[in-house]
Structure 1
Amino acid sequence: MANKDIGIDLGTATVIVYIVGKGVVLCEPSIVAVETVSGKIVSVGEEAFKVLGRTPDNIRAVRPLQDGVISDYVLTEQMIKHFLKKSCGNMMFKPRVALCVPSGITDVESRAVIEAAITAGARKVFLIEEPVAAAIGAGIDISRPNGCMILDIGGGTTDIAVISLNGIVCKTSLKIAGNKFDNALVKYIRNKYSVLIGEKSAERLKKEIACVWNPQPDSVMEVKGRNLITGLPQKIAISAEETCEALNEPVSLIVQAIQSVVERTPPELVADISENGIVLTGGGSLLRGLAEYITAELRMKARVAEDPTNCVAIGTGKAFEYLNILQDGFFNPSTYKYQ
């Protein structure tokens, strides 16, 4: 592993590891199963995801990152260490690691990410903002004096940025993304049917039939949950039209955030965005009808990038090529750290 550079998309829902020269080598849920009393880690990633919502009292399955930032430092460190070892094997030489972070991250939060990566085995750590990584991963030439808008919808955060000449001109970050879509579906079904469904069921519903623009009336999916009145198991059929109604609020808030960024963007760049369109990346961009909904609401063409799920990880890995030219997007050199 001598002189290897690694890019990690450290997401709230998923961790994706990209090794320069090899491509994406790992994609697993960012979940850790840990013993409640001893604190011993039982499983990480895919294995931990299998037991999510099914653990006994002595084991808890947790997400150590919430809304794009570290909520449990120790578990995050162990999770990064596990994924580095799994994707790289036993490292004789410590690699340089680039980690993507939400554009609204604070200095304290950024230093926590750096410390976790250094302790996990990185030689040097760079932080790159998600919209910049997404733009690089989507194949956009960010060095041109031509405005492009990136909408990156992950699990915990949605990042919106206008990029031109290797820098971010205008940006915002909101904590409404894939997890909030799941929560909206859970809330809607609970309020309408008095049935409580689990996190996994909501995610499956979102992936299989959820739609936010012109849903198919005959698209229906059966979900299982617990009736809150009788306390007994119950099956209900949910239509795509119902998911459209359930997801209207979080999607509308994302559109409002895009509009607020456009309002703060210089007119010349707005003209570029109008011509180039809005590029959607991240797992949340795969929500059916989202690009069409944004296009209709903002009257600006929106399109989903090729391989949107891996865009940020690919861009994070390729970011090493831009170390000397990026004006913004990488955090200030004082946050780089050696060991």
Structure 2
Amino acid sequence: MFKYLSGILGLDVGIDLGSANIVVYVKEKGIVLSEPSTVAVRKLPRGGGLEVIAVGREAKAMAGKTPAGVEAIWPLQDGVIANFDMTEELIRYCLRRAKGGGSFMAHPRVVISVPAEVTEVERKAVVDATLGAGASEAYVVDEPISAALGVGLPIDKPRGCMIIDVGGGTSEVSVISLGGIVVTSSLRTAGKVMDNAIVAMLRQRYALLIGETTAEEVKNTIGSALPLSPELEMAVKGRDLSDGLPKVDTVSSVEVREALDPIFLGIEDMVKVALEKTPPELAKDIVDQGIVLSGGVALMRGFAERLSRAINTPVIVAEKPLYSVALGVGKILDNLGAMRRVLMSVERGSR
């Protein structure tokens, strides 16, 4: 009956396809890959197209350091495919790593998570890229469902569960009950926009030009959502915009927090709107059990506490916020009979 995602010898793979990072789960093995969603390419002469020279961590290390004709690309932007061919290359790399060089299954079956509010065209693009990368069958599942499963929320009960996921490309909040999404809201504003805000702040305040990789390091090292005691400082290296020479400036956590504050406010407003749309009985459940925060930005100092203050509701950081979605996809793979209802069969594709 359930031909798809079945078969003793089949390799079942789950993918959290994020704008900043990609995480791969293999059934009965767990998480086997977590790397940046980056592809480095070389332009071939005389219009010969592009040659992929690195993927993942190796490709990200090249960002901002490549010679003429070589470029590091993030093929996913704001949670959706921005470059179809490079997304296909990224997924192909993931499937190759998932198989571990084995040949027992040439074309794995894949479940891949997507933001809940993407369009049908965007969902189909994910399926097509996955099939093009070598999957025999491809399915999509809403990211909030995956994240909620990954953090252990009882989504199949008649009880309201709320999860906030703030990753690299999108911020998403969802209320889930009886296995379905009751309320959802999202912003295409998350970790990468924070990096860009830090780049802009340093450019304006210090005439210091840095790349996104350095901005991410600043964010992770001294970034915070609430005042710190003591506040932190970091020496940031870049290029002086006035004379083009190398330059080092000392930046404080206060300055970084000020740059990120509008983004935090936007996320708070998104959550407030979702709570306003939540049916009263489900809202009561959410107040009783709290809200779970996942995604890479969940690790930022003070972010969960700031959200909790803004909405007057407890906010708990997931145990493994970077892997919540991938672990949820893994639960779907490991319990297909019980979880088949969360797969979107309308987006199902096959070779």
The answer to whether the superposition gives a TM-score over 0.5 is yes
Of 219, 231, 255 in structure 1, the residue corresponding to residue 244 of structure 2 is 231
CA distance in 1 between partners of 2:342 and 2:191 (Å): 23
**Which residue of the partner structure matches residue 336 of structure 1?**
348
CA distance in 1 between partners of 2:150 and 2:174 (Å): 15
CA distance in 1 between partners of 2:153 and 2:52 (Å): 40
CA distance in 2 between partners of 1:327 and 1:278 (Å): 26
Q: Is the 8 A contact 1:5 1:317 kept in 2?
A: no
When structure 1 is superposed on structure 2, of 85-94 and 49-58 the one drifting more is 85-94
Q: What is the TM-score normalised by the length of structure 2?
A: 0.92
Secondary structure of the residue that 2:9 maps to in structure 1? coil
Q: Is the 8 A contact 2:39 2:86 kept in 1?
A: yes
Shift of 1:229: 2.0
Q: What is the TM-score normalised by the length of structure 1?
A: 0.96
The answer on 1:15 being equivalent to 2:27 is no
Change (3 A) 1:162 1:181: same
Q: Which runs of 5+ in 2 are unaligned?
A: 1-7
CA distance in 1 between partners of 2:154 and 2:64 (Å): 43
The within-5 A match list for 1:120-135 is 120-135=133-148
Q: Is the 8 A contact 1:168 1:328 kept in 2?
A: no
**Which residue of the partner structure matches residue 83 of structure 1?**
94
Q: Which runs of 5+ in 1 are unaligned?
A: none
**Which residue of the partner structure matches residue 144 of structure 1?**
157
Shift of 1:230: 2.5
Of 42, 45, 52 in structure 2, the residue corresponding to residue 35 of structure 1 is 42
Code of the residue aligned with 1:17 in structure 2: it is: V
Q: Is the 8 A contact 1:219 1:240 kept in 2?
A: yes
Secondary structure of the residue that 1:310 maps to in structure 2? helix
Secondary structure of the residue that 2:319 maps to in structure 1? coil
When structure 1 is superposed on structure 2, of 31-40 and 86-95 the one drifting more is 86-95
Of 14, 24, 37 in structure 1, the residue corresponding to residue 31 of structure 2 is 24
When structure 1 is superposed on structure 2, of 277-286 and 83-92 the one drifting more is 83-92
CA RMSD in angstroms comes to: 1.6
Q: Is the 8 A contact 1:149 1:273 kept in 2?
A: yes
CA distance in 2 between partners of 1:71 and 1:92 (Å): 33
Shift of 1:149: 0.6
CA distance in 1 between partners of 2:37 and 2:239 (Å): 27
The within-5 A match list for 1:183-198 is 183-198=196-211
CA distance in 1 between partners of 2:272 and 2:339 (Å): 26
Change (3 A) 1:131 1:283: same
**Which residue of the partner structure matches residue 3 of structure 1?**
10
Change (3 A) 1:22 1:326: closer
**Which residue of the partner structure matches residue 292 of structure 1?**
305
Shift of 1:274: 0.9
The answer on 1:214 being equivalent to 2:227 is yes
Secondary structure of the residue that 1:288 maps to in structure 2? coil
Q: Percent of counterpart pairs with the same letter?
A: 41
Secondary structure of the residue that 2:321 maps to in structure 1? coil
Q: Is the 8 A contact 1:167 1:328 kept in 2?
A: no
Code of the residue aligned with 2:135 in structure 1: it is: A
CA distance in 2 between partners of 1:3 and 1:257 (Å): 41
